[in-house]
Amino acid sequence: MGKIENQKAWFFVLPVLFLVAFNALIPLMTVVNYSVQETFGDNTFFWAGLMWFEEVLLSERFHASLMRQMIFTFSILAIEIPLGVAIALTMPRKGPWVPVCLVLMALPLLIPWNVVGAMWNIFALPDIGLLGRTLNAIGFDYNFTRQPGDAWFTMILMDVWHWTSLVVLLAYAGLVSIPDAYYQAAKIDGAKPFAIFRYIQLPKMKRVLTIAVLLRFMDSFMIYTEPFVLTGGGPGNSTTLLSIDLVKIALGQFDLGPAAAMSLIYFLIILAMSWVFYTVMMRNEAK
């Protein structure tokens, strides 16, 4: 029997194509358009080839922001993933406390990003903030608006506070989906608590943890609002992450070409690294 050709099916794809074109492809193409052109105003553009890409890739400023971004992202991953799993392990799996714990955990996730930034900004102010004053009162010379180290400490603490809950909720979902029979089987075998964690809970959480790592990686790599509200990229450029730098170039200096090139490079880095994370974490999974 020959395959029945039905060209009408294409009509059903059209609405989606239309939607994707308007909300993704066309805006992206304008960025691509800017990234290969030069303008001197007046809405006249000249072909610039890969000039902007070369400029961005070779600029020390980009290297520095990228490095800061990497340090930030990997620090929060290194803290949030283990911490999230640890908290999920201590949460009750049945009983009246389950909803209480879940709501408490979800609270930080419900707060708008700029509010989180503003909250932590005030919380950490050395003269009036609870955290800042307390730290100074017990003898630390803490001032996140002046000292880069303190700014970093506050920024990471804020992110951990805001987003560890997401990892907790995902890990918890993975944990409660493990049937009791696994724990019983392990008990019959005489497995120790660490063996249960290592050989049952961790492998069973693998899929959700992969999602957690990917989400946290992508979100933290693109983070803008919270650190911008908290430190504005300062003191100096010490907390200027990639997105903050990008906005400075695009909207502050109005360098459309370099900003467009940087956007595309930024996007490709996230895409490539997400792919690497996913492939590495899923390499042993069945097809």
Partner 1 sequence: MSLELINVSKRVGVDQHIYPTDLKLDPGCINILLGTTLSGKTTLMQMMAGLDPLTTGSLRFNGQDVTKTAVQKRNVSMVYQQFINYPSFSVFENIASPLRVARVAENEIKRRVGEMAELMKLSAMLDRRPSELSGGQQQRTAMARALVKDADLVLLDEPLANLDFKLREELRDELPRLFADRNCVVVYATTEPVEALLFGGKTATLNEGRVTQFGDTGSIYRAPTDLISAKVFSEPPMNEAAVTKAGETMTLDDGTSWTASGTAASLGDGQYTLGLRPHHVVPAQTGRQPVKVKGVVQVAELSGSESMIHFMLATHSWVSQSHGIHPVEVGEMEEFYADVAEAFYFDASGQRITG
Task: List, in order, residues 6 or more apart from 179 with CB less than 8 Å away.
Answer: none
Q: How far is CA 50 from CA 53, 155, 210, 263, in A?
A: 5, 35, 35, 14
| Choice from 49, 193, 203, 252 touching partner 1 (CB under 8 A) | 203
Closest contact distance (angstroms) between CB of 203 and partner 1 is: 4
The 178-197 site mask, x for binding partner 1 (CB under 8 A), equals -x-xx-xx-xxxxx------
Q: Choose between 174 and 257: whose C-beta lies nearer to partner 1.
A: 174
Spatial distance between the Cα atoms of 164 and 179, rounded to a whole number of angstroms: 25
The 152-181 site mask, x for binding partner 1 (CB under 8 A), equals ---------------------------x-x
Closest contact distance (angstroms) between CB of 183 and partner 1 is: 9
Q: Choose between 88 and 205: whose C-beta lies nearer to partner 1.
A: 205
Closest contact distance (angstroms) between CB of 126 and partner 1 is: 48
The DSSP letter of residue 284 is: T
Closest contact distance (angstroms) between CB of 192 and partner 1 is: 10
Q: Choose between 82 and 203: whose C-beta lies nearer to partner 1.
A: 203
Output the CA torsion sign for 187, 190, 193, 198. Answer: negative
Q: Choose between 199 and 224: whose C-beta lies nearer to partner 1.
A: 199
Closest contact distance (angstroms) between CB of 225 and partner 1 is: 39
Query: Which residue's structure tokens are 């989400």?
Result: 215
Concatenated DSSP letters of 25-82: IHHHHHHHHHHTEEE-STT-EEE-TTHHHHHHHH-HHHHHHHHHHHHHHHHHHHHHHH
Closest contact distance (angstroms) between CB of 281 and partner 1 is: 13
User: What is the size of the binding site for partner 1 (CB under 8 A)?
Assistant: 18
| Choice from 43, 90, 279, 284 touching partner 1 (CB under 8 A) | 284
Q: How far is CA 44 from CA 34, 38, 39, 47, in A?
A: 12, 9, 6, 10
- Chain CA centroid to CA 125, Å: 25
- Chain CA centroid to CA 62, Å: 19
On the 0-12 / 13-18 / 19+ scale of CB atoms within 10 A, 44 is exposed
Q: Choose between 45 and 183: whose C-beta lies nearer to partner 1.
A: 183
Taking contact as CB under 8 A, which single stretch among the options 133-141, 201-209, 222-230, 248-256 is the one that binds partner 1?
A: 201-209
Q: Choose between 153 and 199: whose C-beta lies nearer to partner 1.
A: 199
Write out the residues near partner 1 by the rule CB under 8 A.
179, 181-182, 184-185, 187-191, 199-200, 202-204, 284-286
